[in-house]
Amino acid sequence: MDEAICWRAVVENDRRFDGLFFTCVKTTKIFCKPSCPAKTPKRENVLFVSDTETAMGKGFRACLRCKPTEITGVNEKTKIAVEACEYINANRRADLNELGKSLGLSSGHLQRVFKSVIGVSPRKYLEFIKLKRFKDGVSGGKEVLEAMYDAGFESTSRLYENANQKIGMTPGRYKEGGRNLVISYSITKCSLGNLLVAATSKGICAVKIGDSPEELSAELGREFVNAEIRVEGALIKHFVDAIVELIEGNEVGLELPIDVKATAFQMRVWDELRKIPFGETITYAELARRIGNEKSVRAVAAACAKNNVAVVVPCHRVIGSDGGLRGYRWGIERKQQLLENEKADIALERKLFT
């Protein structure tokens, strides 16, 4: 089973996955149901197994709190989605029509069930898995064409189309660890502190806010360790000016291009974030509903926290169900200031034009 999906279920305490896999915690030697209410362990300390016998055979004992050995059934819709994921992962040339037939479902029914559980359509998931196979192949030393065909891509055009959307660089460049990627960046002052904006030739790849210019540039270097990074304010001045305007609460009236790396789920969340109108907020629960998975509130919050382009992807516009601001990667005070700036601009506009 896809470990990324397993981990998301654990983070969300998603009881729909109970009985379909079990979580073994290496530090405590205990195994649990995905919905166990105990504190979420660190990811590096977790091993996933398909049944209780395997867990006990590896020396783990059952959790006394969630009682994983007492499960009597499984959620049928989730079971179908898991079986579909296993089919896609096991078949290099996965055919979604054949997948539906093998599960005894129409393509429309499979689409609805899969998306309600996984959060993306079967086709989007297949694209993500193929791209992951390709990335693993070239990282492991395969030539681009060999990795492409092994991953299930039928042509270089399909590969490059997916790579440009999901990797943020060409397959050849990815094979070289981004060594020839050129990133221009600039650091300027704004009302929130120091603002770093970085961009490739395709779009903005990083927007960071902090107290120290040195720490911001060092963080950029760690994230793009093999890229050629240049301080070139003039080349990206139009991006910097637009982002400063957004920070100060002025709607710029255009969608800035981004060039970021993300999982299929993260990209889905970020796409939805960019649809939130200027000056408005929604809750994490509402954001989860908008992407078609009401149970994915925690995973949605985690995707917001991974956002590397502050303000451009406006994760600051997502708040708790009680109206609380919750967390923000760049500091809760900055989140509050951003929202206040946007609301002030909307209020001024209404005063002037009504």
- Residue 32 known to be catalytic: yes
Gap between the Cα atoms of 254 and 171, Å rounded: 30
**At what angle are helices 76-90 and 107-118 packed, to 10 degrees?**
100
- At a CB cut-off of 8 Å and minimum separation 6, what does 121 contact? 111, 114, 115
∠ CA 164-166-172, nearest 5°, is 50
Determine which one of 6, 36, 304, 315 is catalytic. Answer: 315
Determine which one of 6, 32, 205, 304 is catalytic. Answer: 32
* DSSP 8-state secondary structure symbol assigned to residue 110: H
Query: Among 346, 280, 263, 352, which Cα is nearest to 314's?
Result: 280
Secondary structure of residue 13 in the 3-state scheme: coil
- Measured from the Cβ of residue 309, the count of other Cβ atoms closer than 10 Å reads 23
Query: Among 59, 65, 78, which Cα is nearest to 21's?
Result: 78
Q: Is the dihedral of CA 136, 96, 100, 112 positive or negative?
A: positive
How, if at all, do strands 318-319 and 282-283 pair? parallel
- Residue 315 known to be catalytic: yes
Which residues are tagged catalytic?
32, 315
